[in-house]
Amino acid sequence: MKISIIGGTKGLGNWIANFLKNKGFNVTITGRNRIDGENVSKRLGVKYTPDNIKAASQADLVILSVPIGVTTETIREIAPYLKEGSLIMDVTSVKEEPTSVMNECTPKGVEILPSHPMFGPRIRSLDGQVVVLTPVKRGKWYQKVLDFLEAENARVIVTTPQTHDKMMSIVQGLTHFSYICIASTIEKLQIDIKESRNFASPVYSLMLDMIARIVAQNPYLCYSIQTHNGYIQETHEAFLQTFKELKEMISEGNEKEFVGAMSSAAKHLDDLEAALGRSDKAISALTEEIRLLKDSVGEEVGLRHIYSGKIHIGILKDLTPNFAILDQDKKEIKLKLSNVEVLSDVELLKWKIESFPKKTYDVSAVFPDNCDPEVISNTIKSLKGVVTSSVLGIYSGNQITLGKKSVTIRYSVIDPNIRHEVENLLKGFGGLIR
C-alpha cells in the first residue's frame, strides 16, 4: 500500500511518516522546503517530492498534515487528482471545515476519513492515545483504519465534526484560552511567580505548572485552533459574560448570588469526589518523591531523567528546593528535581544488573549425599547481589568421603565481595569448600 503524507517534513506529519515507515508501509512525503524534505527522506528512508499533486495522485492513502490555515486550499489543490478507490484523511485540530471541504471537492469513489490525533509528536507509540474520527460514511477504508488503530491499542472515538468541534471549543477555547489569559495577566501585573509559589500550597504550584504547560504550547497552532473552530467565539463570549457577572457579585457584595453560582457550577461538573481523589494523588506523587529523597541524603539513590530515560546513580550529597546533588565516583553532578524521578530499590537493583559488568565464579562444596544441588543453587541465587546461579556438576568418587558428594555451582555477581557471602552460606550449612 502506497501512503503519501502531504506535509511530512515537520511535526505530526513527520511523526506519522516515521511511524508508518517503521510499520513497513511504502511512504512518500511532501513539503515546500526541498532541503528539509530531502534530509527527512534520507533520515527516515521514505520518498520525497515537493509536488503535492504527484504524491496524491499515486497514493492509495493520502494523509494531509499541513497547518490549519492552509488545509482547505491544500484539499482543493489535490482532491481532483486522487485515485479511484483511495482514501483521504486529514489530521487537523478542527473538523467541521476540513470535513465539509473534502466532501465537496473529492471525486466519487474516493473515501474520506477526517481525523484528529489528540497527541503531539513527542509520543513513542499509539498505546493509550486518543484518535478522533469523524467519518462521513463508514466504508471499507474506515474499517481498515479502525482495525489498524485498535491493533495499536489507540483509543478511537468516532463522532461527528460538530460534536468534535464543540468539545474542542471547551478544551481549547475555554480552558486553554483562559489559562493563556491568566498567564498574560500575571505578566501584566508584573507578579513574581517564583515568589508567589513560596506562599502557597502544592495545589497552587501544580495549577501554575498546568498553566505554564498550556502557555508553552506552539502559539501559532494555538492561534489557528482559536480562529478556525466555529464554536470558540461563542465560548469566549459566554466566559466573558460569566466573568463579568461573578465579578459584579463580588464588587456589589452580593454574597448569596455568588455562593449560589459557585455551588451550582460545582454541581454541574462530573464526580467531584473523583476529581479530588485524582488531583490529591497527582499532588502527593510530587510531594512523596521529595519526602523520599529527603530521607535518602547520604545514601545511594538512582534517578531517572524523565525525558531522556538516562539513569544517574550516586550518593545523594545534598538536596536543594530545585536540585539533587549526587556524588558519583568523586564527580559531583547536579540534577534538576523536576526532570528526574526516583528509582525504587527494585528498579535500582535491576538497572545495576543490566548495566554493570558481571563476574562469574565457580564454587565447589561437599555436602551429605542426600542434599539437593538445585536447592543449594537457588538459595545462592536468592542472596542479594547474586545475578545468576546454576548447578555446574556433581561429583562423588575418589577423594570424597563416603555418604557425601561434591556440588559445583556457577554463579555471577556484580560485586566480587559477594563471594564471601556465598562461601559463608555454604559453610553455614556445614558444607566443606574444596
Q: Which of residues 82-101 bind a copy of itself (CB under 8 A)?
A: none
> Which is nearer to a copy of itself, 41 or 99 (by Cβ)?
99
- For a copy of itself, the closer of residues 39 and 241 by Cβ is 241
- For a copy of itself, the closer CB: 140 or 334: 334
Q: Is 85 helix (H, G, I), strand (E, B) or coil?
A: coil
Min CB(400)–a copy of itself separation in Å: 13
CA distance 331 to 117: 44
Residue 193's CB is within 10 A of a number of other CB atoms, namely 12
43 vs 281, beta carbon nearer a copy of itself: 281
**Residue 42, CA distances (Å) to 45, 68, 121, 167, 182 in order:** 5, 27, 19, 39, 43
Angle at 327 between CA 351 and CA 287, to 5 degrees: 70
Q: Out of 42, 278, 350, 434, which residue is the one contacting a copy of itself (CB under 8 A)?
A: 278
Label residues 260-299 b or e (16+ Cβ within 10 Å = b). Answer: eeeeeeeeeeeeeeeeeeeeeeeeeeeeeeeeebeeeeee
From the CB of 186, what's the least distance to a copy of itself, in Å?
7
Residues 126 and 153 sit within 8 Å (Cβ to Cβ): yes
Residue from 91, 371, 387, 413 touching a copy of itself (CB under 8 A): that is 371
Residue (49 or 408) nearer to a copy of itself, CB: 408
CB 324 within 8 A of CB 340: yes
Site mask, a copy of itself, residues 182-211, x = CB under 8 A?
A: xxxxxxxx-x-xxxxxxxxx-xxxxxxxxx
Q: Which residue from 296, 279, 280 is spatially nearest to 344, judged by alpha carbons?
A: 296
Tell the smallest beta-carbon distance from residue 35 to a copy of itself (Å).
Answer: 25
Cα(228)–Cα(72) distance, rounded to whole angstroms?
11
Could you tell me the three cell numbers for 228?
478556525
**Residue 72 near residue 100, CB atoms below 8 Å:** no
Q: Is 279 in the site for a copy of itself (CB under 8 A)?
A: yes
From CA 165, how far away is CA 120, in angstroms rounded? 18
Task: Say how far apart CA 201 and CA 209 lie, in whole Å.
Answer: 13
Sites for a copy of itself among residues 225-244 (CB under 8 A): 226-227, 232-236, 238-244
Minimum CB separation of residue 230 from a copy of itself in Å reads 12
- Does residue 391 interact with a copy of itself by CB under 8 A? no
Q: From 73-81, 101-109, 178-186, 391-399, give the range in contact with a copy of itself by CB under 8 A.
A: 178-186
Map residue 150 onto helix, strand or coil.
Answer: helix
Fill in the per-residue mask, 14 to 53: x = in contact with a copy of itself (CB under 8 A), - = not in contact. Answer: ----------------------------------------
Return the residues of window 291-310 that contact a copy of itself according to CB under 8 A.
Answer: 291, 306-307
Q: Which CB sits closer to a copy of itself, 122 or 330?
A: 122
Provide the residue type at 7 as one letter. G
What burial letters (b/e) apply to 369-382, b meaning 16+ CB within 10 Å?
eebebeebbebbee
Question: How many residues of this chain bind a copy of itself (CB under 8 A)?
Answer: 135
| Alpha-carbon span 136 to 90, nearest angstrom | 13
- Residues from 350 through 369 that contact a copy of itself (CB under 8 A): 367-369
Is 394 a residue that touches a copy of itself (CB under 8 A)? Answer: no
382 touches a copy of itself by CB under 8 A = yes
| H-assigned helices in 191-296 | 193-199, 202-215, 219-228, 232-251, 255-268, 272-294
Looking at the Cβ atoms of 82 and 131, the one nearer to a copy of itself is 131
Interface positions, 118-177, toward a copy of itself (CB under 8 A): 118-119, 128, 130, 132, 157, 164, 166-168, 170-171, 174-175, 177
Q: Which is nearer to a copy of itself, 53 or 167 (CB)?
A: 167
Residue 188 grid coordinates: 501584566
Q: Helices (H) and strands (E) in the chain — how many of each? A: 17, 17
**Phi then psi for 122, rounded to 5 degrees?**
-90, -15
Task: Check binding of 285 to a copy of itself (CB under 8 A).
Answer: yes
Q: At its nearest, how many Å lie between a copy of itself and the CB of residue 7? A: 19
Strand partners, 84: none
- Name residues contacting a copy of itself, limited to 240-269 (CB under 8 A): 240-244, 246-247, 250-251, 253, 255, 258-259, 261-266, 268-269
For residues 77 and 421, which CB has a smaller minimum distance to a copy of itself in the complex? 421
Give me the least distance between CB of 84 and a copy of itself, in Å please.
Answer: 34
CA distance 68 to 61: 20
CB-based contact 5:13 (threshold 8 Å) = yes
- Nearest approach in angstroms of CB 22 to a copy of itself is 23
Q: Using the rule CB under 8 A, which residue among 213, 310, 334, 350 binds a copy of itself?
A: 213
